């Protein structure tokens, strides 16, 4: 059996709480990705370029994934850190 107590291995999970400005930069990345997606889809359609059209939809998957993850992280920070009764990625 172990003779050590678990308290010596515990630590806080409050990471990067002082860097809230990163949230606005992350939303800017999502917006730029979305605008690029729209431009690529429109230009691919107008010029009959399958490569631009397909890449536009591919950018759409990135924009969706970034937005989904961004919203989950915002919800996580709003509800509190893990261990305070909240669940991550409900």
The H-assigned helical ranges of 15-87 are 22-46, 50-79
Within a domain: 40: yes
Question: Does residue 44 lie in a domain region?
Answer: yes
Does residue 3 lie in a domain region? no
Q: How far is CA 58 from CA 8, 41, 67, in A?
A: 47, 10, 15
Q: CA-CA distance, 72 to 9, in Å (whole number)?
A: 28
Cα 34 to the center of its chain, rounded Å: 14
Is 59 inside a domain boundary? yes
Q: Which of 89, 36, 25 is nearest to 63 (CA)?
A: 36
| Whole-structure pTM value | 0.57
Please indicate, yes or no, if residue 16 is contained in any of the structural domains. Answer: no
Q: Is 34 part of any domain?
A: yes
Count of the separate structural domains present in the chain:
1
**pLDDT over 60 (residue 33):** yes
More confident residue, 73 or 38: 38
Tell whether 27 is covered by a domain. yes
Could you tell me the residue range of the domain that residue 68 belongs to? 23-73
- Answer yes or no: is pLDDT of 40 > 70: yes
Q: pLDDT tier at 90 (50, 70, 90 boundaries)?
A: very low
């Amino acid at each position: 059996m172990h003779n050590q107590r678990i308290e010596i291995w515990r630590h806080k999970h409050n990471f990067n709480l002082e860097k809230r400005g990163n949230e606005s930069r992350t939303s800017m990345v999502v917006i730029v990705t979305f605008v690029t997606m729209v431009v690529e889809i429109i230009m691919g359609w107008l010029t009959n370029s399958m490569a631009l059209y397909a890449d536009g939809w591919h950018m759409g998957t990135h924009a969706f994934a970034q937005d989904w993850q961004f919203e989950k992280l915002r919800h996580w920070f709003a509800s509190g850190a893990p261990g305070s009764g909240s669940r991550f990625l409900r």
